[in-house]
Chains A and B, each alone.
Chain A
Amino acid sequence: MSELVIQVNNLTRKFGDLTAIQNLNLDIEKGNIYGFLGPNGCGKTTAIRMLTGLLKPSAGTVQVLGFSLPKDAEKLRMHIGYMTQKFSLYDDLSVAENLNFIAKIYGLPRTQQKQRVNQLLDTYELNPQAKQLAGSMSGGQKQRLALAAAVLHKPKLLFLDEPTSAVDPENRREFWEQLFDLSDQGTSILVSTHYMDEAERCHKLAILEQGIKRADGSPNDLMQQMGAHVIEIAAMDLRQLKQELIELPDVISAAQIGARLRVLIKKAITEPLNYLSQQAVVNPEASLSLVRPSLEDVFVTCTGDSRQ
C-alpha cells in the first residue's frame, strides 16, 4: 500500500445541534485525485476545513501529511494549498499583484518570486490579464487565478472546494487537464464537487450525504459493486409510469432521461427484466433493456438508502 497523505478516524463535527460530519473515516493515498461527491450542505466544506486545520473537530483524529491536526495546523500551512469555494483573492488587486502578494506571504525570495509568477501566468494562460483587476475577470479566469495562487508555493497536497461551480463546461475540461498535470507532477489533490462527470474523473471518491460517508472507492469499483440493477424503459406516458413504479417496494428510483425512463431495482431481485415486465403498470409493448450503471446511479442508490 502506498503512502497515505490523509488519515482520518471517526471524525465528527457538530455545530450546536447540527451534526455536520459524523464518524468520517478516510485513507487518502499519495498522488491521487480524491473526490468528495455530495449535494450542497452535505458537509464537504466542513470536512475540508477540518482537514486544513481551519475548524477544530468535535471528535476523532486527523493526520495530514504526518501532522496531527488541529495541533500542528500552523506547520502544515507551508505544505498545503487551498482553493476556497468562494473566490477569496483580492478583487481590487490585479492578477500579477495578487500572485506577488501570495508569493511574498509564502516567503519566496525576490528573484524566485518573479520567475514563479511568470511561470504560473504562462501555465494558467493568464498573461493577457496580468494587469487586469481580479474583480473584473470572468468566472473561468478567476478560477485559474485561484488555482495558480493555491499552487504557487508548490504544495504537496491541494484542497479544492467546489472549484468548478462558477465556470462553463469548456473551462471545466481545461481545469481538469491542469489538475491531472499537477497530479502527474506528484501533487495529491482532494476535490469536492456535486457534478457526477467530475467525480467520475477522480482516482477515488467518497460519497457524502448529511455528514455521513455512504460509499467510497474508485468510480469503476463503485459502479460494479452497486447494489442495484439499472433498466431503461422506452414507452409512452413516462411521467405516469414513473409515479406508479416508484410506489413498488423493490424499485429504488425512477428518473426520466429524454424518451426513456431509467429505473433502479434492488439487487435482491435476480431477474430484474422479468420482474419489471410482469408489473401490471408496464405496458407489454414497452421495450426494456439492462444497461451499465453510471456514477449517478451509484449516487442515487447510496443516498437513497437513508431516506427509506
Chain B
Amino acid sequence: MKYIYRIQAIVSKELIQLKRDNMTFAMIVMIPLIQLLLFGYAINTNIRHIPVGVVDYSQTALSRVLKQTVSATQVVTFNQEYLNVKQGEAAIASGEVRAIFVIPEDLSQRLARHQTIGFASPPATDEETSRPVAQWIVDGSDNVIAAGLKSLRNMPLAELLSKPVNRSTSTFEVTLLFNPEQRTAVNIVPGLVGIILTMTMIMFTSAAIVRERERGNLELLINTPVQPIELMIGKIIPYMFIGGVQVFIILTLGHLLFKVPISGGLMQLALATTLFITASLALGLLISTIAKNQLQSMQMTLFVLLPSILLSGFMFPYEGMPDIAQNISEILPATHFMRLIRGIVLRDAEVTAMGYDMYWLTLFTLGGLVIASLRFKKNLD
C-alpha cells in the first residue's frame, strides 16, 4: 500500500507546482489553440493565385481572352507584363513571379490547328500542324507550385472560341472517400493532435527530473524511500490529464472551425490518445534521465520533435519516403499515432483493426518507463 501513498504524494506535488507555474499553465491551453489556428488556416496544398507574368508576343484580342480564361481558373494571377522572355526569366530568378506565360505571335494559327478545338478536320496530329498554343516557363524548384502550374497543361480551351465542350470519357473513375472536397484541414487537424502532444508532452516531462536535479531537490528525494518507478509514474499521471485536455481543445475547435468530421467512437479515440500520451511522456522521462540540465533536455526534445513533424506522415506521406526514412519513421511514436488518429477520426476505424500501431505504442511506453527507471540511480555516483 505504501507505494500508492508515494505515487499519490508525487502526483499531488506535481499538480501544486503546475498550478503555481502560470507560464506553463498558460502554455497548456495556448499552444494547442494558437498552433491549431495557425496551421489550420496556413497549411494548404491546394495552390491558388500563384503570381505570374505574361510575355504577349501576339497582342491580339484572342491573346487577351486566353489570358482571361487562364486567370479564371484562379490557379494563377497575372500581375506583371514583360516585353520578352529574357526579362521574364530574370523576374523568375529574382522571385518577382513564379512563372511566365509566353503567348507566341502565331497564336491564332496554333489555335486554329489545335487538335481539340481547332477547325481542322480530321484533327491534325503531326508535329507540323499540332503545336501547343502557348508556353509556361516555371520556377520548378518548388514542386508543389510546379504541380499547380502543370495542372494547367491540359486545361480545356473550348470556351475560348465559344464552342460546345467536348464530352470526354476518363480512362478511370476515381471515387474519393472521407474527404471528397479535398480540404487540407481535414487531414491536418487530426495530425496536429499528434504534433502538439509530441511537443508539449515531451517538453514538460523532459524537464521534470532535470529540474529537480538543478534545484537540488533530487538529493532530498533519493534519500527517501521513494522508488524510481514510483517517481516516474507519479510524474506521468498529471500530464496524462493535461494531454487529454489538449486533445479535447484541438478536436473540438477543429470540428467547429474547420468542420473536421469526428467519425470514430470517443472510446476508441480516448484509448489511442492515452496510449500515445504515455508513450511521449515515457520518452520525455528518458530524456530527463540523460540530460544534465534543462537546456540539454530542450535540445533533445527538438531532436525528437523535428523528425516527428517531417517523417511521421504529418506533412509528407509515409509512402513517399525512401526505405531508410520509413524505418526511422516506424520508430517514432508520432508515426503510429498519426495512423491511429487519422484512422479513428476520419475513417471511423476500430483500434483493434490497427493492432500493430497500438502494439508498438504500448511497447514503447513500457520500454521507455523501464529504461528511465533503470537509468535513474538512487545515488550521486
> Are A56 and B381 also in contact (CB < 8 A) when A105-B6, A107-B5 are?
yes
State whether A84 touches B220 (Cβ < 8 A): yes
In the complex, are the beta carbons of B225 and A54 less than 8 A apart?
no
Give CA–CA (A91, B215) in the complex, Å. 9
**Residue A49 at the chain B interface, CB threshold 8 Å:** yes
* B105 interfacial contact with A, CB 8 Å: no
Q: In this complex, what residue of B is CB-closest to A56? A: B381
- B9 interface neighbour in A49, A87, A101, Cβ under 8 Å: A101
> How big is chain A's contact interface, by range?
20 to 34
Q: Which residues on B sit within 8 Å (CB–CB) of A105?
A: 5-6, 9, 224-226
> Known: A54-B219, A56-B381. Contact between A93 and B225, CB under 8 A?
no
Which residues of B1-21 are within 8 A (CB) of A? 2, 5-6, 8-9, 12-13, 16-17, 20-21
The reply to whether A107 and B6 contact each other, CB–CB distance below 8 Å, is: yes
Q: Which residue of B lies closest to A90 (CB)?
A: B217
* A106 on interface, CB distance cutoff 8 Å: yes
Contact A106/B225 with A92-B20, A101-B9 known, Cβ cut-off 8 Å = yes
Against B, the Cβ 8 Å flags (1 = close, 0 = not) of A44-72 are 00000100111110000000000000100
Asked whether any CB of chain A lies closer than 8 Å to the CB of B253, the reply is no
- A82 interface residue (CB < 8 Å to B): yes
Interface size class on chain B is 20 to 34
Cβ contact within 8 Å between B13 and A101: yes
Chain A residues whose C-beta falls within 8 Å of the C-beta of B378 in the assembled complex:
73-74
B124 → A minimal CB distance (Å):
82
B317 at the interface (CB under 8 A from A): no
Query: Do A93 and B216 touch (CB < 8 A)?
Result: no
Q: Determine if A203 is an interface residue (Cβ-Cβ < 8 Å).
A: no
Q: What are the residues of chain A within 8 A of B12 when measuring CB–CB? A: 101, 104
Given contacts A55-B379, A78-B225, contact A89 B2 (CB under 8 A): no
Please state if B379 and A73 are interface contacts (CB–CB under 8 Å). yes
Is B141 on the interface with A (CB-CB < 8 A)? no
Q: At the interface, yes or no: B166 with Cβ under 8 Å from chain A?
A: no
CA A74 to CA B228, docked complex, whole Å:
12
Binary A-proximity of B351-367 (CB < 8 A = 1, otherwise 0): 00000000000000000
Asked if B380 CB lies within 8 Å of chain A CBs, one says yes
> Does any Cβ of B come within 8 Å of A267's Cβ?
no
Indicate with 1 or 0, residue by residue over A146-169, a CB within 8 angstroms of chain B CB atoms: 000100000000000000000000
Q: Tell whether B50 is near chain A: CB-to-CB under 8 Å.
A: no
Q: CA separation between A92 and B220, bound complex, in Å?
A: 15
A84 to B221, CA, bound (A): 11
Residue from the list A70, A73, A77, A91 in contact with B224, Cβ < 8 A:
A77
Whether, in the assembled complex, A114 has its beta carbon less than 8 Å from a beta carbon of chain B, the answer is no
What's the nearest-Cβ distance from chain A to residue B10, in Å? 8
B151 part of interface (Cβ distance < 8 Å): no
Residue among B20, B219, B220, B380 with the highest chain A CB neighbour number at 10 A: B220
Which listed residue, B8, B9, B16, B217, touches A88 by the CB 8 Å rule?
B217
**Does A88 lie within 8 Å of B380, measured CB to CB?**
no
Contact between chains at B17 and A104 (CB < 8 Å): no
Flag if B223 contacts A89 (CB, 8 Å). Answer: no
Cβ contacts under 8 Å, A92 to chain B: 16-17, 20-21
In the complex, B222 has a CB within 8 A of chain A: yes
Smallest Cβ distance from A130 to chain B, in angstroms?
Answer: 14
Is A97 an interface residue, CB under 8 A from the partner? yes
Which of B9, B20, B216 meets A86, CB within 8 Å? B216
Would you give the shortest CB distance from B375 to chain A, in whole angstroms? 17
Q: Which of A56, A86, A107 lies at the interface centre, i.e. has the most chain B CB atoms within 10 A of its CB?
A: A107
Contact A104 B215, CB 8 Å, known A54-B223, A55-B379, A77-B224: no
7 contacts between A and B (CB under 8 A): A55-B381, A56-B381, A82-B220, A86-B216, A92-B21, A93-B13, A93-B16
What residues of chain B have their CB less than 8 Å away from a CB belonging to chain A? 2, 5-6, 8-9, 12-13, 16-17, 20-21, 215-220, 222-226, 378-381
